[in-house]
């Protein structure tokens, strides 16, 4: 009888492990969910990669889409739910450093549209102004219902930035023709 119970326990454990493995992946020591939910819609992991500065990985980033794609222009111009998930992996990341990097990314992505979008960029940066520590998770999700990018830190909504044009420039930071990191762009596209 004990052997039968042991076998049943092992089988159940193996099945539960397999189910958990299908719900998430481990990337460079960070657990990344395979799906996230936005307004009752399930978004799928499209790709993930790390952002490094001076040989130090500073965060792990994942891109979630309603339809998987390797076409960056389609993703940028698509008016459907999508999300960028960033998990901070280094104590070297501070709010100031993150917002300065975001500012630089917006300059590269927006080009001539930067001045017109600057008030919205500053609003986004204000939502990232709190202290940042290793392990913090940001979800920056575009919701087409309100045409806005939602800023969520560790599960708490910090605010929203409206505008489809803003969304395109925002996702262009990582997926545009002049991304902040070409290798990260390819990883987010699953290439």
Percent of the residues in the chain that have a pLDDT greater than 90, as a whole number = 58
How does pLDDT run across 53-62, given as a tens digit for each residue? Answer: 655 567 899 9
46 with 68: CB under 8 angstroms? yes
What phi and psi, each to the nearest 5 degrees, are found at residue 60? -105, 130
Distance (Å, whole) CA 183 – CA 191 = 9
How does pLDDT run across 152-188, given as a tens digit for each residue? Answer: 999 999 999 999 999 999 999 999 999 988 999 999 9
State the CATH class of domain 25-188: alpha beta
């Amino acid at each position: 009888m004990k052997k039968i119970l042991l076998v049943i326990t092992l089988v159940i454990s193996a099945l539960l492990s397999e189910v958990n493995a299908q719900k998430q992946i481990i990337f460079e020591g960070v657990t990344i969910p395979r799906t996230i939910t936005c307004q009752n819609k399930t978004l799928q992991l499209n790709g993930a990669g790390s952002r490094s500065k001076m040989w130090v990985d500073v965060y792990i980033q994942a891109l979630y889409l309603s339809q998987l794609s390797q076409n960056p222009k389609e993703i940028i111009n698509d008016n459907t739910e999508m999300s960028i998930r960033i998990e901070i992996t280094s104590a070297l990341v501070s709010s100031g450093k993150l917002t300065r990097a975001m500012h630089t990314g917006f300059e590269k992505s927006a080009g001539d549209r930067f001045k017109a979008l600057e008030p919205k960029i500053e609003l986004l940066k204000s939502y990232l102004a709190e202290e940042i520590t290793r392990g913090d998770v940001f979800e920056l999700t575009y919701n087409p219902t309100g045409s806005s990018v939602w800023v969520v830190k560790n599960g708490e909504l910090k605010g929203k930035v409206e505008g489809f044009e803003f969304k395109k420039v925002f996702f262009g930071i990582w997926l545009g023709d002049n991304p902040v990191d070409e290798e990260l762009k390819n990883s987010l596209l699953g290439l």
